[in-house]
Amino acid sequence: MACGFRRSIARQLSRVLDLPPENLIKSISAVPISKKEEEADFQISVDSLLENSSNHSRLNIQNKAVRLAEKLKCDTVVSEISTGQGTINFKINRELLTKTVLQQVIQDGSSYGLESELFSGLPPKKIVVEFSSPNIAKKFHVGHLRSTIIGNFIANLKEALGHQVTRVNYLGDWGMQFGLLGTGFQMFGYEEKLQSNPLQHLFEVYVQVNKEAAEDKSIAKSAHEFFQRLELGEKQALAMWQKFRDLSIEEYVRIYKRLGIHFDEYSGESFYREKSQEVLKWLDNKGLLEKTIKGTSVVDLSRNGDPSSFCTVMRSDGTSLYATRDLAAAIDRMDKYNFDTMIYVTDKGQKKHFQQVFQTLKIMGYDWAERCQHVPFGVVQGMKTRRGDVTFLEDVLNEIRLRMLQNMASVKTTKELENPQETAEKVGLAALIIQDFKGLLLSDYQFSWDRVFQSRGDTGVFLQYTHARLHSLEETFGCGYLNDFNTSCLQEPQSVSILQHLLRFDEVLYRSSQDLQPRHIVSYLLTLSHLAAVAHKTLHIKNSPSEVAGARLHLFRAVRSVLANGMKLLGITPIYKGYSQYVNSGYI
């Protein structure tokens, strides 16, 4: 944050160590609340300052810490300097800490933490984030759901950090499934159903035609012919395909909107039908295509170390494959966006695919392949809705809404809610996202609706409650007290812990921006909510002298603001109005 405490400490250290302050800033970290044995706010570990820290014994490092600390002096910012295990600890002048943090949080609003010295010197980049990418007429499975929320988080974070982000949805909108769909639709498709519920109807047609094709060989043949017509660009077939695609996208847009997600580009494999042929020609001309005994063509990747490694780019009939289209798409996006980074978000099952695509690009002489990054995530088992396994995104959203409404119905005052459906959906989605973002993205986990919706404990429901509760506090007392504000009234341990925690927000954002893992932000927000719950119980506003009440209100307002910022980055819409009755009803 622009609080500048880190900078002041770095300046002090730089004098003693004879190093430029800029080199020290990132090594100075805010002490996490859970690790607070002392009251220090920041620390620097001494081994981060030593060149070959492994050559130094612990005793040596400790001595070094003590000697260094002796040379440092307290000033108007730092009120105490001490040493921990291999660290030098700094306590910030309490009045200054309170005033600066609260002012900064309130002044910076949604950019609090994002303008920190930790991010300075990072120029804005052009970033393409490709995510969600379902396959038309096929299942929208849990993997697509994860890709959707993870990709959205990454795009939000990058955008918040000032980068220019392009959000791309790369649809599975080409291939044999459209041959089958074309044939199937002629047999059992209904125009009205297609218009009113395209995703559902196309899926039904697809399932049915597959079933029939297993028994009747002529169906496979006509599907093949239909796809051939598409590949050749025949007008009628293309018009049908186009209609399937357009109607599907229309519905996707509407459903993504329920999630608060938008895309800048609906691309798809179909875009690269011709361009992938160009890629194949190019590879062939350069002598990089090798025919296998099976008749397929591959690019040899063994020069990258693995002798058995290759990328299959052409079927024996000359048609392109998934990887070929990805090669063409990457090259096209480079032309179009001139990106500094391109991020692909899919399940870990596609890890090898992306490795091969990136390596092939490199062999083709595209050094920018290094700017491409695959963000893989693990498998979620056991997510079921009333209709069974997840088939449509909309089913998941409906299930969330329904379950949340049921939970809420067990509380009497719910009827008073202005818009219970919408509230239920927002709280439920928060619950789903927090559950998903808690662990390492790469870990697999077993899904449980009960765990998702627990109101106590570390869930998205708890975050939403806390947010709404704090908001209702502002609504109840806000106007009267907010001008009256004396920082010396916030010296109880509960207040100081909150301030210390708020101080760490930039570091948490920095961490997530480095490894693209949302869990740092999730655990930060959960801790913040727990701290707020404790403070809410003990730091009363009602019946407190007005300057105490005003200071506390400021503190709670700051907590709510940072909570909202963090939630929005994760893709959660914080709940404001109409929820306080529910919250105050004692559900939590």
Instruction: Tell me the catalytic residues.
Output: 138, 141, 144
Q: How far is the CB of 151 from ligand ARG (least distance, A)?
A: 10
The site map against ligand ARG for 308-327 (x = CB under 6 A) is: ------------------x-
Q: How far is the CB of 353 from ligand ARG (least distance, A)?
A: 7
Residue with tokens 């297993």: 214
Question: Closest CB to ligand ARG among 330 and 551?
Answer: 330
Residues ≥6 apart with Cβ < 8 Å to 558: 101, 102, 105, 106, 498, 502
* 344 forms part of the interface with ligand ARG (CB under 6 A): yes
* 133 forms part of the interface with ligand ARG (CB under 6 A): yes
Question: Closest CB to ligand ARG among 87 and 133?
Answer: 133
Q: How far is the CB of 343 from ligand ARG (least distance, A)?
A: 11
Q: How far is the CB of 98 from ligand ARG (least distance, A)?
A: 48
DSSP 282-329: HHHHTT-EEE-TTS-EEEE-GGGS-TT-EEEEE-TTS-B-HHHHHHHH
Following CA atoms 466, 472, 474, 475 in sequence, which dihedral angle do they give, to the nearest 10 degrees? 160
Task: Report strand pairing: 126-130 vs 164-171.
Answer: parallel
C-beta of residue 451 within 8 angstroms of C-beta of residue 435: yes
Q: Would you state the structure tokens that stand for residue 69, as one six-digit string? A: 């600390």
Task: Report strand pairing: 297-300 vs 310-314.
Answer: antiparallel
Q: Give the span between the Cα atoms of 349 and 476, in whole angstroms.
A: 51
Selected from 42, 112, 153, 170, the binder of ligand ARG by CB under 6 A is 170
- DSSP 3-state assignment of 290? strand
Stretch that binds ligand ARG, among 128-136, 174-182, 209-217, 549-557 (CB under 6 A): 128-136
Selected from 41, 47, 117, 130, the binder of ligand ARG by CB under 6 A is 130
Residue with tokens 């909150």: 498
Q: How far is the CB of 395 from ligand ARG (least distance, A)?
A: 17
Q: How far is the CB of 326 from ligand ARG (least distance, A)?
A: 5
Q: Give the span between the Cα atoms of 200 and 391, in whole angstroms.
A: 9
Q: Give the span between the Cα atoms of 318 and 411, in whole angstroms.
A: 63
* 108 forms part of the interface with ligand ARG (CB under 6 A): no
Residue with tokens 């986990």: 445
Question: Closest CB to ligand ARG among 168 and 508?
Answer: 168
Q: Find the radius of gyration of the CA atoms of the chain.
A: 28
Stretch that binds ligand ARG, among 130-138, 219-227, 372-380, 488-496 (CB under 6 A): 130-138
* 173 forms part of the interface with ligand ARG (CB under 6 A): no
Question: Closest CB to ligand ARG among 230 and 567?
Answer: 230
Question: Closest CB to ligand ARG among 346 and 513?
Answer: 346
* 135 forms part of the interface with ligand ARG (CB under 6 A): yes
Question: Closest CB to ligand ARG among 41 and 130?
Answer: 130
Stretch that binds ligand ARG, among 85-93, 129-137, 365-373, 384-392 (CB under 6 A): 129-137
Angle in degrees, CA 228, 234, 236, rounded to 5: 115
- As to burial, measured by CB atoms within 10 angstroms (0-12 exposed, 13-18 middle, 19+ buried), residue 297 is buried
Q: How far is the CB of 396 from ligand ARG (least distance, A)?
A: 16
* Helix axes of 142-160 and 505-515: crossing angle, nearest 10 degrees: 120
* 346 forms part of the interface with ligand ARG (CB under 6 A): yes
C-beta of residue 547 within 8 angstroms of C-beta of residue 484: yes
Q: How far is the CB of 140 from ligand ARG (least distance, A)?
A: 9
- Among residues 90, 77, 6, the alpha carbon closest in space to that of 40 is found at 90
- Count of residues that interact with ligand ARG, criterion CB under 6 A: 8
- DSSP 3-state assignment of 457? coil
Q: How far is the CB of 136 from ligand ARG (least distance, A)?
A: 9
* 339 forms part of the interface with ligand ARG (CB under 6 A): no
* 495 forms part of the interface with ligand ARG (CB under 6 A): no
* 172 forms part of the interface with ligand ARG (CB under 6 A): yes
Q: Give the span between the Cα atoms of 148 and 95, in whole angstroms.
A: 44
Question: Closest CB to ligand ARG among 8 and 135?
Answer: 135
DSSP 371-418: GEEEEEE--EE--EETTEE---HHHHHHHHHHHHHHHHHTSGGGGG-S
Question: Closest CB to ligand ARG among 141 and 426?
Answer: 141
Question: Closest CB to ligand ARG among 133 and 297?
Answer: 133
Helix ranges (H only) for 109-196 are: 142-160, 176-188, 191-196
Beta bridge partners of 392: none
Amino acid symbol at 392: F
Binding site residues, ligand ARG, CB under 6 A: 130, 133, 135, 170, 172, 326, 344, 346
